[in-house]
Amino acid sequence: DTGVSQDPRHKITKRGQNVTFRCDPISEHNRLYWYRQTLGQGPEFLTYFQNEAQLEKSRLLSDRFSAERPKGSFSTLEIQRTEQGDSAMYLCASERGAGNTIYFGEGSWLTVV
Amino acid sequence: AQSVTQLGSHVSVSEGALVLLRCNYSSSVPPYLFWYVQYPNQGLQLLLKYTSAATLVKGINGFEAEFKKSETSFHLTKPSAHMSDAAEYFCAVSLRGGSQGNLIFGKGTKLSVKP
């Protein structure tokens, strides 16, 4: 257990439904990252927050995806109108300032049927 | 653009044998380099990272990696494999000056350890 918590761990949803994942980073970690990992692939960067500011967004983050970190603590990743191609594990990671070790959560598995 | 290539999607070794997992990178500027391990249904754990100091980097669980600029490589080694080393290993790169958390990962190498 790295201290980064993700919820839910598993989610099965029907195509077209909206889903939301939550990440609680390690306390006092001001940087928070979201990644997506599909079967047989390495994780792919989606977006990154420093405190409550979203500083980087990947082109992978289509307009159906939105991420927030309203108070600079926990973060949510919402996927609207899910598609089968969204099936993946969504990983959250946190970091205590630049240049420090990045800690990953155990991921949230999404299956779109 | 940066990229990472991991040679061999599956590597199998006997317990006690040398572990060698290969990683080559492409980057227009000197990068930061990382190796992560992922056990089934779990997140990633950092094994080691190269930022700019010694080219031979020692990590956890007896792993080490050597940064070779001339070969653009960052291969991961362990002298003697243990059954508990069976997992998937990812090499990753990030840009200097950028967020170290904006990582580009390779596709991973699954390590099997035979008794």
pLDDT in tens, A28-37: 899 999 999 9
The answer for A93, left when phi > 0, alpha when psi is -120 to 50, beta otherwise, is beta
Other CB atoms within 10 A of residue A105 CB: 27
The answer to whether B43 contacts A33, with C-beta atoms less than 8 Å apart, is no
Q: Of B32, B99, B31, B43, whose CA–CA distance to A53 is shortest?
A: B99
B52 touches chain A (CB under 8 A): no
Q: What is the pLDDT along chain B (115 residues), one digit of tens a residue?
A: 788 999 999 999 999 999 999 999 988 777 889 999 999 878 899 999 998 778 899 999 999 999 998 999 999 999 999 999 999 999 999 876 556 678 899 999 999 999 9
The answer to whether A43 contacts B103, with C-beta atoms less than 8 Å apart, is yes
Q: Give B-chain residues touching A40 at CB under 8 angstroms.
A: 9, 107-108
H or E element at residue A95:
strand A88-95
**B-contacting residues in A 6-65 (Cβ below 8 Å):** 31, 33, 35, 40-45, 48, 55-56
Buried/exposed B70-86: b ≥16 CB within 10 Å, e otherwise:
eeebbbbebeebeeebb
Its sign, for the CA torsion B3, B8, B14, B19, is negative
Residue A43: DSSP 8-state: -
B80 touches chain A (CB under 8 A): no
Q: What is the pLDDT along chain A (113 residues), one digit of tens a residue?
A: 779 999 999 999 999 999 999 999 999 899 999 999 998 899 999 999 999 999 988 888 889 999 999 988 999 999 999 999 999 999 999 998 777 788 999 999 999 99
The answer to whether B101 contacts A48, with C-beta atoms less than 8 Å apart, is yes
Determine the Cα–Cα distance for residues B33 and B104; give it in Å rounded to an integer.
Answer: 10
B77 touches chain A (CB under 8 A): no
Residues in chain B, how many? 115
Q: What DSSP line would sit under B46-102, residue for residue?
A: EEEEESSS-SEEE-GGG-EEEEEGGGTEEEEEESS--GGG-EEEEEEEEETTS-TTS
Only one residue has tokens 């980073």, namely A25
Cα A104 to the chain's mean position, in Å? 10
Q: Give A-chain residues touching B105 at CB under 8 angstroms.
A: 42-44
